[in-house]
Structure 1
Amino acid sequence: MSSQLQYLLIGACILGFTGMEFITRRYQATVHGSATANDTWLEVLMFVSLIAITQPIALLGSNALCNRLMPAQHNAWANLPWWAMAGLLLIGDDLTQYLWHRASHTPLLWPLHRAHHSAAYMSVRITYRNNFFYYLMMPGLWIGGVAVYLGFGSVYAAYLVIKLAVILGAHCAWAWDAPLYRIRALRPLMWVLERTISTPATHQAHHALTNEDGIGHYKGNFGNLLFFWDVLFGTARITRKYPAKVGLQDDILFGPERWTTQMFYPLIHSKREHSALRRGGYGFTEADLQTEAKQEAA
């Protein structure tokens, strides 16, 4: 796949899902009025930094390391069939991203991923909303650079377009899967599909404000391209329903973190009393709310 075609398809994916958010008025209903200038700064600058800084560093850096450590392997795997390359990419990029995402919901790495969940809305605009160092340290980006060095160029480009289409669709304010669930003839197909790739229903559950409604599952549904990893490793929850609210409890209680802190922690620390973005701090969670409620009742 040529770079021009890749960029064209990526642009079409972004514009297509963005357009559907507006056509179905989901953007106007759920995002407009909820998103602030603070959100916009974070989302725009993270997207730009990923494209202009992080990806080039990972691709060029891994290429330089490969040239130094294994120069004889340049394009050594270029004659592999496309399906073998695709399988290796699913393991080297998508499986490692599942594991990285899952690890990012532990106390140690949560500050680097928290920004992605601090949005109180779903939209294509939050797809790459994260801490700067979250992507810089993501294993899949560096492994992708190694794959390109080994000769996966065209297959890797096509793989990225497909993956982008899936994750944009999973974050989109327009839930493309909702009408398909209502078509009886498509039930067998949707049963397979929702266990194979990330969908709005499964991914919105991951962004849910609470787990108490039986829909939210922010300690699971970690898959990016393939939801199959969640099924395989027991972290899946499939309800075909959508949470009423998404976001973080501590932001509701104490106000949102500044975009600079969310993007550049640990270089910049939060000044909030309860915050995961400060040394020794932690986010005020749903468990904390339940503890307080029990104490008040007693």
Structure 2
Amino acid sequence: MELFSDFLNFAKYILTGFLMYGFFMLIERIRPVEKHQPLSHVWFNLGWYVFYILVSFALQATGIGLLIDLIQNWLELPLINLPVPHNPLTYGLIALLYFLVTDFFYYWFHRWQHTTWLWEQHKFHHSEVSLNVTSTRRVHWLEDPFLLFCLELPMGLLFKFNGLSLGIITFIAIIWLQFIHLNLRLNLGYLSRVITGPQYHRLHHSFQPEHLDKNFAAFFPLWDIVFKTYYHPRRDEFPPTGLTTGEVYNNLWEASLLPFREWLSSFRESSKRRKPFRER
């Protein structure tokens, strides 16, 4: 019975995701940056989304999601309680604080992904040459465990939620992440310094030299501005996306093994350069 319930939850999650993708794909048709993106790329991303959710459910089944609660109860730190949204002003201010703090942790995690060995796990996401809403979950399934420690753990220690508040916050975050990946020719002008958007994030995915390692934030460019990684979009600046080396990795097996293969290759290279002890 429990297995059947888990299957229903999985099916509902997938169906909801596909419905949201479908809604945003209609919006993308209004004014796309790239008018004729290959359907094969979209189908791969949709297939990867199903696979990603399957792996995520499997990781949750191991009990990894209980870690935050255990550490939270052990440390007994004071938490910011996000109330039930009866008072819109209070809820809105605390929700804004939540997203600002979330973006701070995410900014540094995302920047870390571009400067360390984590790049081998993150570059699958950046190999997208047809950026669109289905690219949102085009991330390696190792992303969830890393986010658990770098984002969910500190946020779980700082904020406490009731079920309704958590549901609303999560829904807003999912919608926004899909919004910034849209294949949509939308220029926010001055607002690009206040909130992120599809053009802002497209520049982050660009392989042009002037755009590399810019615009890391997910919600608010504030942290990019503060830490000197902000690039302000010009009016008609909608560059192509992908890796500087041109790899795509639109293969389920290849994408899954990518970080492990790259880490093993790096380890072998470092081993070759390391001299035996007797020769030092």
Question: After TM superposition, is the score higher than 0.5?
Answer: yes
- Contact 1:262–1:277 (Cα < 8 Å) also in 2: no
Using the aligned pairs only, state the percent identity: 20
Match of 2:23 among 12, 16, 23: 16
After TM superposition, list the pairs within 5 Å mapping 1:13-92 onto structure 2.
Answer: 13-22=20-29, 29-32=36-39, 35=41, 41-50=47-56, 52-53=57-58, 59-70=65-76, 77=81, 81-83=90-92, 85-92=94-101
- Contact 2:34–2:183 (Cα < 8 Å) also in 1: yes
- Contact 1:131–1:264 (Cα < 8 Å) also in 2: no
- Asked if 1:99 is matched to 2:108, the reply is yes
Match of 1:232 among 209, 222, 226: 226
After TM superposition, list the pairs within 5 Å mapping 1:279-298 onto structure 2.
Answer: 279-280=266-267
Q: CA deviation at 1:29?
A: 0.9
After TM superposition, list the pairs within 5 Å mapping 1:47-196 onto structure 2.
Answer: 47-50=53-56, 52-53=57-58, 59-70=65-76, 77=81, 81-83=90-92, 85-138=94-147, 139-146=150-157, 150-151=160-161, 153-175=163-185, 177-178=186-187, 190-191=189-190, 193-196=191-194
Q: CA deviation at 1:171?
A: 0.5
After TM superposition, list the pairs within 5 Å mapping 1:182-221 onto structure 2.
Answer: 190-191=189-190, 193-211=191-209, 214=210, 217-221=211-215
SS at match of 2:115: coil
CA spacing shift, 1:163–1:37, aligned 2, 3 Å? closer
TM-score by length of 1: 0.67
Q: Which residue does 2:252 correspond to in 1?
A: 259
Aligned AA (2:134): R
Aligned length in residues: 247
Could you list the runs of 5+ residues in structure 2 that have no partner in the other structure? 1-12, 85-89, 270-280
Q: CA deviation at 1:87?
A: 4.5
Could you list the runs of 5+ residues in structure 1 that have no partner in the other structure? 1-6, 182-189, 271-275, 283-298
SS at match of 1:29: coil
Cα deviation per residue 1:145-195 (whole Å; 9 max; x = unaligned)? 4466x33543333222222222211101123x24xx6xxxxxxxx41x211
SS at match of 2:170: helix
- Contact 1:117–1:248 (Cα < 8 Å) also in 2: yes
d(CA) in 1 for partners of 2:141, 2:194: 29
RMSD value over aligned CA atoms? 3.7
SS at match of 1:250: coil
Q: CA deviation at 1:116?
A: 0.6
TM-score by length of 2: 0.71
- Contact 1:204–1:246 (Cα < 8 Å) also in 2: yes
Q: CA deviation at 1:233?
A: 1.6
